[in-house]
Each structure stands twice: as C-alpha cells, then as structure tokens.
Chain A
C-alpha cells in the first residue's frame, strides 16, 4: 500500500503512549452497532508501478483520434507547452482556496487577472472566479435574473441540449417557469419572441454561436428582449470573441459560456470551466467567488476574496446559490492560455477555425453533404449526409478520424478547429468521397 502515512508503526505507538491512549480508546466514540467488523471488500494496496499499469490499461482501451471533427460542447484546440508546464507548478496545484489573503496573493492575483481577461473578451464590467462548466453557468445566470415579480425564463431551442436540461434540473423546484423559444431555420424565431413577451419575463437565453454552429442576430434579439425590460443572457464560445462582436456591444446583461477551449483538454468531459460576466448593475447578483483589489496595512496593492456576503457560507439558506468551489486551477490554465496566445494568437486561432470550417463546408457540399441551414456560422455546421451517418463514422474511424456528431441517420454536426491541418482536411474529403459512393 502507498506510504503516504509517514509515521512507522512504532512511531504511531510512541505517539499513543505520549498521550496515554490506545487504539481502542481512539476508536471508542464509534458505537459498536455501527462498526464495520470486517475488512473493506476491496483489493489490498499495491505499489505505484502496479497502479500505473492498471490505469494505463484502462487508458489504452480508449481510442485517441489523431483528427477530431466533432465539437458539440467540447473542442480540441492546440495547447501551448508553456501552459502545461506552468499550470503544473505545485503551489498552484496543491494550494487551498485563498481565504488567507496574506498567504495567497499569487492565487488571488491569478484569479483577478483571469477575471480581467474574461471581461476583455466579453466587454462586460465584472466576472466571477468561475463556476463548474458552461451548462451550470447558464443555470446560475437564469437564477440571477429571477425575482418576485419576474419569474419567467425563455431559453432558445438552439442552446446546447445539455444547457437546457441543466437549467430545467436546477429550476424544477424553484418558482421559475422555463419555456423554450422555437427555432426557425437554425436560428431563434424572432417573431415568436416578439409575440410572446410578458411583464413577468425575467430573461431570454441564447447561445452564440448556437448548438448548430450558427451565429444569431444578437442585436435584433437584444432590442426585443430589452423592450420588455427583461435581461439578455448569452452563452458564448470564448474563442469566437477574438473576431466576433463582444456581448457588451449588443447589450447582453450577462455573458456566460464554456471556457474549455481556452487551454483545457477535452478530457472526456471534465474538468471544464464555466465563466460568468455581467454589468456593474448586476455584479452583486453574481454567484460564487470573486476576487477584488484592495490595499494592505502598508498601503500596498493586494487582492482578496470579496463580496462574500452573497455566498452560502454566510447567507446559508438565503443564498441564491449553494456554489462553494470555483474551478480555480482551470481558470488559471485558461488565463495562461490567453496570455500565451495574446490577442494576435487568439485571432489566428479563431480565424483558422472559421476559414477551415468554411472551406470544408464548401467541399462537402460538392460531395452531396448539403448544408442544412443557410445561415452564417463560426466553426461548426450541420449537413445532410448521402449515406447513413454510422457508415461515415465507421469509415473515418478506421482512418483514425473522429467524424462529426450524428444528429440523426442522415444529419451530421461538423466542427473544424485550427488543430486540424490542411493535409488532414484533404484526407477527410478523400475518405468521404469514398464512403459516399
């Protein structure tokens, strides 16, 4: 078994002696009736080498594709080596939440910088220190806008289905009515929205680009939402913000999203990173931790967890959210990614995603993979398929390529990021031509 308990058996006995106790004394508070009078039915502990062999055997049973054309909420991007190295610094990995500010300026400053970068991307006034993921960020955002007078939340049908389901799960026992805004040709049905406003509307939630990769008419939507004095919540892809309009510019009240594309591995779904940013007006409604700047006793600039009286450890059942942890280490990684890419690097990433995806889309069209929605898109798009999607997935898989996500028997959601090289795109096209014959 692992030797993480440093004290030897004889040292342990010495300690017992020094305090005049036996093992039985120490375990006596556990009533006899609830003692486990047998060994745990688990194998005994083993050496780290054997553990690694076992874990490696699990890992080997998973196929790692060289080319990934699937997004739908998890995006494979190129991650700079400096991000991996710096994020694995032990102090960042093994530190606790920075409640003791004097001891934790490094952690606090890194979060303050992360918060600033999220605001630089989204154009918003303030950001929190992150939440679990994009889907729960949407749910928390809905919660921010609801009050006694406004309890109706409208969600676009083109949100990631997981976001919709998470909002419904979060709100099922709260006095919040969730309705879905229908989709029209891949975008939000604006006419429906105009005809279904109400005085008790708290918020309208859209995703941009949406689940099908399509860019929504955000200004028009914003105008309609604000005409009813409701709040606009937008779930955005952070990479897209390098080239596309920032949420603040079209009047979003809350900008949230999944920040996994910012330097985090796809890692079978986690840990990921939910970001939440908002206006000055709504800052005190933000859930979770927030870092603020202040001064120390000597007048030196310092950072500290602030606005804590919003949180559960103080408000308890009156807190608007039970959020305790943030995804600190993931936020740190995202900040490192954004710093190492810089504005030009991020623009290059977004630009390559856009151009490569549009190139693929045009070539696929020639192979009878027709674009389903004739709408502007970022790096994901939906096509029909000339043969069953299973066939496509299997054929590409044999060549170490993960095809787009089947949305049906003859519909597929494709994604191209900068991580897919031109050579790979041409190889994909050749293979698709083969399989569609």
Chain B
C-alpha cells in the first residue's frame, strides 16, 4: 500500500496535507480505498461547515456499503473538491490526489501520526 512521506495520517485511514498558507487538504489513504473496494460516490459536506477532529464529516459509497470518513483535525471547510462528484473513481485510482475538502482555521494537529507510524500500523 502506498504511503506518502510528506503527508500526515490518522488511525482511521485519512491523510492530511498541510499547505504553506495554513490550510490543509484531507483525503483517504490507499489502504482505505483498497479496503472499501470500487467507490461510486462521495457525499461531500458544504463550504462553511465546521468539522471536529475525530468526528464523522462525510461518507463514501461503494455499491453495497456506506463508510464514514472522520475529520483528522478540526477546522472550517473553505473548499470542496467538486471534481469527485463526477469522477468518484479517482478515489480508487489516485487516493492521494483525490482530496475531499480544504480546511481553514485548523487545530488539533497533535493527534496526527507521521508516515512512518502509519506505515507500521498498516503493515
């Protein structure tokens, strides 16, 4: 399973990319997409919604199941990746490129684990 070194992770298989301007991109890991199987839809939240670290903030659908995605850190949604609505297969083919939301006013970074730790967790 691919694990990218420059990203941070959670135990529930989300990844976070901390951007220079203080915002962060959030997505699900290669391990997650592999477990979930072919993903067909993502129920994205709305810009302006607040998210709380560790709490469910959206879900992804495969043909036969729905899986919750948990916010890795707290913040406010400043952008959602509309492209995912039309091309949900990107979640499977390019999990680290298929970001869900961009968060601003972030906090709670302490709970994230680094690539090394995530790698050993998923081995």
Please, which residues of chain A bring their CB within 8 A of the CB of B41?
Answer: 284, 309
* A82 CB within 8 Å of chain B: no
Query: Smallest distance from the beta carbon of A351 to chain B beta carbons, Å?
Result: 43
Give bound CA distance, A309 to B66, whole Å. 6
- Report B26-55 residues with CB < 8 Å from chain A CB: 40-41
Query: Smallest distance from the beta carbon of A151 to chain B beta carbons, Å?
Result: 16
Give bound CA distance, A284 to B61, whole Å. 12
* A318 CB within 8 Å of chain B: yes
Query: Smallest distance from the beta carbon of B90 to chain A beta carbons, Å?
Result: 18
B40, B41, B65, B66 — which one has the most chain A CB atoms within 10 A of its CB?
B66
* A308 CB within 8 Å of chain B: yes
Give bound CA distance, A318 to B68, whole Å. 11
Give bound CA distance, A308 to B40, whole Å. 11
Please, which residues of chain B bring their CB within 8 A of the CB of A314?
Answer: 64-66
Give bound CA distance, A308 to B62, whole Å. 9
Please, which residues of chain A bring their CB within 8 A of the CB of B19?
Answer: none
Contact pick for B63, options A284, A309, A315, A318, CB 8 Å: A309
Query: Smallest distance from the beta carbon of B79 to chain A beta carbons, Å?
Result: 19
Query: Smallest distance from the beta carbon of B58 to chain A beta carbons, Å?
Result: 12
Interface string of A139-150 (1 = CB under 8 A from B): 000000000000
Give bound CA distance, A64 to B77, whole Å. 63
Please, which residues of chain A bring their CB within 8 A of the CB of B66?
Answer: 309, 314-315, 318
Please, which residues of chain A bring their CB within 8 A of the CB of B61?
Answer: 309
Give bound CA distance, A28 to B74, whole Å. 56
How many chain A residues touch B (CB < 8 A): the figure is 6
The B contact surface, by secondary structure, is: strand
Give bound CA distance, A163 to B51, whole Å. 38
Q: Which residue of A lies closest to B66 (CB)?
A: A309
Give bound CA distance, A284 to B64, whole Å. 15
Interface string of B54-98 (1 = CB under 8 A from A): 000000011111100000000000000000000000000000000
Please, which residues of chain A bring their CB within 8 A of the CB of B65?
Answer: 309, 314
Give bound CA distance, A315 to B65, whole Å. 8
- Report A313-336 residues with CB < 8 Å from chain B CB: 314-315, 318
Please, which residues of chain B bring their CB within 8 A of the CB of A309?
Answer: 40-41, 61-66
Please, which residues of chain A bring their CB within 8 A of the CB of B63?
Answer: 308-309
- Report A19-50 residues with CB < 8 Å from chain B CB: none
Give bound CA distance, A430 to B66, whole Å. 65
Give bound CA distance, A315 to B64, whole Å. 10
- Report A267-298 residues with CB < 8 Å from chain B CB: 284
Query: Smallest distance from the beta carbon of A257 to chain B beta carbons, Å?
Result: 28
Q: Which residue of B lies closest to A304 (CB)?
A: B63
Please, which residues of chain B bring their CB within 8 A of the CB of A284?
Answer: 41
Give bound CA distance, A36 to B61, whole Å. 46
- Report A298-312 residues with CB < 8 Å from chain B CB: 308-309
Please, which residues of chain B bring their CB within 8 A of the CB of A318?
Answer: 66
Give bound CA distance, A318 to B63, whole Å. 16
Give bound CA distance, A314 to B61, whole Å. 10
Give bound CA distance, A309 to B42, whole Å. 11
Please, which residues of chain B bring their CB within 8 A of the CB of A315?
Answer: 66
- Report A241-287 residues with CB < 8 Å from chain B CB: 284
Give bound CA distance, A76 to B63, whole Å. 42
Query: Smallest distance from the beta carbon of A382 to chain B beta carbons, Å?
Result: 45
Give bound CA distance, A318 to B66, whole Å. 10
Please, which residues of chain B bring their CB within 8 A of the CB of A308?
Answer: 63-64
Give bound CA distance, A340 to B89, whole Å. 42
Query: Smallest distance from the beta carbon of B91 to chain A beta carbons, Å?
Result: 14
Give bound CA distance, A315 to B43, whole Å. 13
Q: Which residue of B lies closest to A149 (CB)?
A: B46
16 A-B residue pairs with Cβ-Cβ distance under 8 Å, sorted by A, are A284-B41, A308-B63, A308-B64, A309-B40, A309-B41, A309-B61, A309-B62, A309-B63, A309-B64, A309-B65, A309-B66, A314-B64, A314-B65, A314-B66, A315-B66, A318-B66
Other A-B pairs beyond A309-B61, A309-B62, A315-B66, 13, CB < 8 Å = A284-B41, A308-B63, A308-B64, A309-B40, A309-B41, A309-B63, A309-B64, A309-B65, A309-B66, A314-B64, A314-B65, A314-B66, A318-B66
List residues of chain A with CB under 8 Å of any chain B CB: 284, 308-309, 314-315, 318
List residues of chain B with CB under 8 Å of any chain A CB: 40-41, 61-66
